Amino acid sequence: MHTPLAPHPNSSPQALVSPPKLVPIDKLLPPGFMQRHSRFRDVNHMLGASGLSSDLLMETDSTSRQPWDSFIRLSTNFSDWAAMLSEARGEWIMRRIGVFIDA
């Protein structure tokens, strides 16, 4: 499973028209992130514990995604999946530029 990341606004014009980079979900949500922000040791354990289809991770319709958002709200320190992804993207970018967050 991958989630898209938008190109940096200062990227070259070519980068702005190229498709977004897809990041594997286990790289976006590494064990350190999961352990800091949830009761799960990694994203696979969170998915298994949810009992929900992993297809919900890519769902854009908020009504269809509601069961996943509820699970995220109850089992992490985020209000919903979008908030969790937003934090994860920020941390992923920091790791990519050499600012290490995970212990």
Report the SS3 class of residue 21: strand
At 21-45, the pLDDT tens digits run 788 889 999 999 999 999 999 999 9
Q: How many domains does the chain have?
A: 1
- 2 is a domain residue: no
Instruction: Kindly state whether residue 41 falls inside one of the protein's structural domains.
Output: yes
In a domain, 1, yes or no: no
Residue 17 lies in a domain: no
- Read off the pTM: 0.74
DSSP code of 40?
A: -
Q: How many angstroms separate the CA atoms of 3 and 54, rounded?
A: 12
55 inside domain: yes
So what's the pLDDT on residue 1? 54
Residue 4 lies in a domain: no
Find the domain containing 79 and state its range: 26-96
pLDDT given for residue 31 in this prediction: 95
Mean pLDDT of the chain: 82
Residue 79: pLDDT over 70: yes
Residue 3 has a pLDDT of 56
- Residue predicted with more confidence, 63 or 78: 78
| Residue showing tokens 């969790």 | 84
Q: Which two tokens stand for residue 17?
A: 């028209």
